[in-house]
Structure 1
């Protein structure tokens, strides 16, 4: 078993004497796709299923879309998303768990990770921007662009591939994208705000703590109003140490004059209007207080 790759063709492994047919069908292995197997103790997440799709589709295939993003370390796919691959063989067709796409690729738009062919970071962002509905397209572009490239550079791909399906969506996605976003949930939270005509917050804003000579980073911030808006992933109180660190962080922000509003995934899904109302109200109250503070007395 140690000589087998992470994902492999069962017929090739049997022919090489690495495993017997009986053991391949047993509890030690999992069949992911026809003649494509992996060890049963490895989670069948999108990464593993994408590797399986690459093996199944053959040597000319290129992982793309959410699969390429996964291998690039920029996970942004919803749960249960299929593996995605650009296939070249006529017999390679979409099936449950694998979406096969037919598309044009320039050789410079293909990278390799661990011997697996994938679309480049920028080509992956371009494809997801045109394939996905607007919100998820922005989420994907933010994730792939973060610390790597300016999203507007994707307009070069839109000009090069004017005839590709969905290319007209790219400009709209880029109008909302921001490579400073720290995570997909933070992008979704930002979009709730800006699409409600609230001012654009600054992603990943550093509040300097002069006393400790360090920065406290906010997911989203309105610096002029000293208002932070954060995504609460539910892990803030996972351990006593994390809870204490989070409490100290909140204390430092409050001491610096910042108010922080925090929202969960459930808040964003169920009551986005409440988020908008609360942030808008906080901005208005701060603006009102500022006006009062500069109004000359009688």
Structure 2
């Protein structure tokens, strides 16, 4: 049975799984059969319960919730483990609460207690690992917690943008801009969105990967925007 990031790929995770599967695939098996090349065998004393197994496209894989737990407990970096849980949940469209419920019922797995402690930081609404990283930066600071994936509409009910993170009271929209935003067409689209949001009374904070290397500056910028927003309420 397929597990780990190979199972995550089948559950449509797109950030970590594709590169990992090129190197190695995790397979759960009962017993001590030898592993073929580029397969990491995860040996089981007994088969996994039916609730932790799914059939997708004729392949038996660990369920999305079990997959999220496994990829997190096999990841040594806590923040990356959180981002992997977010990614699996987001792409498989399950809630973090489903992962938490399964984690509470499991016993004897290496790293399980650590995963339980990390789940409080997870959010299935995160659309990418950089968004998870940005959200973690904010929620671990003194700033109020933002809401992920907030749709903003104009006065006619037409969606203008979906903010990666937002403060609806105070009207502050935070976006993570990855490499795709460097292209001319995307840059022009972002400029138009910024102008429309400004007309609607929103302040826009755009954060890049290089900006995250100076987290205090990012927090100061968001905090200043919040102060301006509160002054206008």
Q: How does 1:210-225 map to 2 (within 5 A)?
A: 210-211=155-156, 213-225=158-170
| Residues 160 and 197 in structure 2, CA contact (< 8 A), matched pair in contact too | no
Tell me if structure 2 keeps the 8 A contact 1:66–1:75. no
**TM-score (normalised: structure 2):** 0.83
Question: Shift in Å at residue 84 of structure 1?
Answer: 2.3
Aligned residue in 2 for 1:99: 40
- Secondary structure in 2 aligned to 1:196? coil
Partner of 2:3: 64
Mapped partners of 1:125, 1:64: distance in 2: 10
**Which ranges in structure 1 are unaligned for 5 or more consecutive residues?**
1-61, 294-298
CA distance in 1: counterparts of 2:217 and 2:56, whole angstroms = 43
Residues 261-276 of structure 1: matches in 2 within 5 Å?
261-268=205-212, 270-276=213-219
Distance 1:234 1:285 in 2: 29
Maintained 8 Å contact 1:143/1:184: yes
Instruction: Tell me the SS of whatever aligns to 1:210.
Output: coil
* CA–CA separation in structure 2 for the residues paired with 1:156 and 1:212: 37
Task: Give the Cα separation in 1 of the matches to 2:17 and 2:133.
Answer: 13
Question: What RMSD, in angstroms, separates the aligned Cα atoms of the two structures?
Answer: 2.6
- Hey, which of these two has a bigger chunk of helix by percent? 2
Structure 2: 5+ residue runs without aligned partners? none
Q: Distance in 2 between matches of 1:177 and 1:64?
A: 21
Flag the 1:284–1:79 CA change in 2: closer, same or farther, 3 A: farther
Q: Which structure has more RCO (C-alpha within 8 Å, separation ≥ 6)? A: 2
Larger Rg: 1
Q: Does 1:246 align with 2:185?
A: no
Residues 228 and 157 of structure 1: CA distance in aligned 2, closer, same or farther (over 3 Å): same
Deviation at 1:164, TM superposition (A): 1.1
Q: Report the CA distance between 1:223 and its aligned residue.
A: 1.2
Whether the aligned pair in 2 keeps the contact of 1:70 and 1:76 (CA below 8 Å) is: no
Which whole-Å CA distance do the structure 2 matches of 1:144 and 1:158 have between them? 15
Partner of 2:57: 114
- CA drift of 1:183 comes to 2.1
How far does residue 94 in structure 1 lie from its aligned partner after superposition? 8.6
> Match of 1:134?
78
The match for 2:110 is 165
Contact 2:148 2:165 in 1 (8 A): yes
Paired position in structure 2 for 1:283 = 226
SS of alignment partner, residue 125 of structure 2: coil
SS state at 2:12 partner = coil
What is the CA distance between 1:79 and its match in structure 2? 8.0
